[in-house]
Amino acid sequence: MKIISYNVNGIRAALKKGFLEWLQSANPDVICIQETKAHKEQLDLTEFENAGYPYHYWFSAQKKGYSSVAILCKEKPNHIEYGTGIESMDFEGRNLRVDFDEVSVMSLYLPSGTNAERLNFKFNYMSEFQEYISNLKKDIPNLVICGDYNICHEAIDIHNPKMKGVSGFLPEERTWIGAFINNGFVDSFRYINPGKQEFSWWSYRANSRANNKGWRLDYAMVSEPITENISRAYILPEAKHSDHCPIVVELDF
């Protein structure tokens, strides 16, 4: 099973940049999309179906043009879970899960901490999400949580490790994601590529992408029971429909 995660920073904008042609070429079994910034009624859904993804699910923020996640699948899932059931998290459309026989796949868009208010919201979200996942794993042990975590874990995951006062690389955020991993997950990219420095997001400012001054904010976290099923994990920086690029994990069952 090939799973891609991609923060597209607006699905309608990405479509105009050749997203569907790229998707058909990349050919994942499942793609988790974050920051669609759209409600499904604003899209021509037949475009995704014609591209080979007849099963598509959308969980959007109450506010139009904001946040929102989606999952496109080649095969029909057994179950689709919209949100977490936690009201303080779900109104921004940040979690969507599809369940298959062998694995469940979640698309996650963790909040960014752009100011003090949003940073407090992010920390609250992180706490509630950890509790939610700890409970979920009891019923669904084979879990892949793909998405934009808006956190760099280690110094190798950011071009400038001195940026310790910026949200996304705050000590408290890094501690949380480390604890999240230690609570039963594997960072699939780092598991396969222990010493490789690659990024998945670049600022639009200061020609950051051309100079590869990036951050690795996007992860495919694989639960420990299926760690041995990870065959490949890699990043696709050549895809340029967004300020992020796609990440990939491949599992053999």
Residue 185 has φ and ψ, to the nearest 5°, of: -130, 165
Write the CATH number for 113. Answer: 3.60.10.10
Percentage of the chain exceeding pLDDT 90: 99
Nearest by Cα to 70 from 79, 62, 80, 78: 80
| Owning domain of residue 41 | 2-251
Nearest by Cα to 80 from 92, 69, 89: 69
Which residues are within 8 A (CB) of 103 and not within 5 positions of it... i.e. 6 or more apart?
1, 142, 143, 144, 226, 251, 253
Classified as helix, coil or strand, 199 is coil
- In this prediction, residue 80 has a pLDDT band, given cuts at 50, 70 and 90, of very high
Q: CA 11, CA 18: separation in Å to the nearest integer? A: 11
Q: CA 219, CA 107: separation in Å to the nearest integer? A: 10
- In this prediction, residue 12 has a pLDDT band, given cuts at 50, 70 and 90, of very high
Instruction: Work out how many domains the chain is built from and give that number.
Output: 1
Nearest by Cα to 189 from 162, 225, 153, 163: 153
Residue 119: strand pairing partners:
none
Q: What is the mean pLDDT of residues 14-37?
A: 98
pLDDT tens digits, one per residue of 210-224: 999 999 999 999 999
pLDDT tens digits, one per residue of 154-193: 999 999 999 989 999 999 999 999 999 999 999 999 999 9
pLDDT tens digits, one per residue of 116-134: 999 999 999 999 999 999 9
Angle between helices 116-139 and 171-182 (to 10 degrees): 0
Is the pTM higher than 0.95? The answer reads yes
Residue 32: strand pairing partners:
5, 71
Q: What is the enclosing helix (H) or strand (E) of 32?
A: strand 30-34
Catalytic site residues? Answer: 148
41 to each of 15, 44, 57, 217, 235, how far by Cα in Å? 15, 8, 12, 29, 31
Tell which phi-psi region holds residue 170, choosing left (phi > 0), alpha (psi between -120 and 50) or beta: beta
Nearest by Cα to 111 from 132, 128, 99: 128
Q: CA 223, CA 126: separation in Å to the nearest integer? A: 18
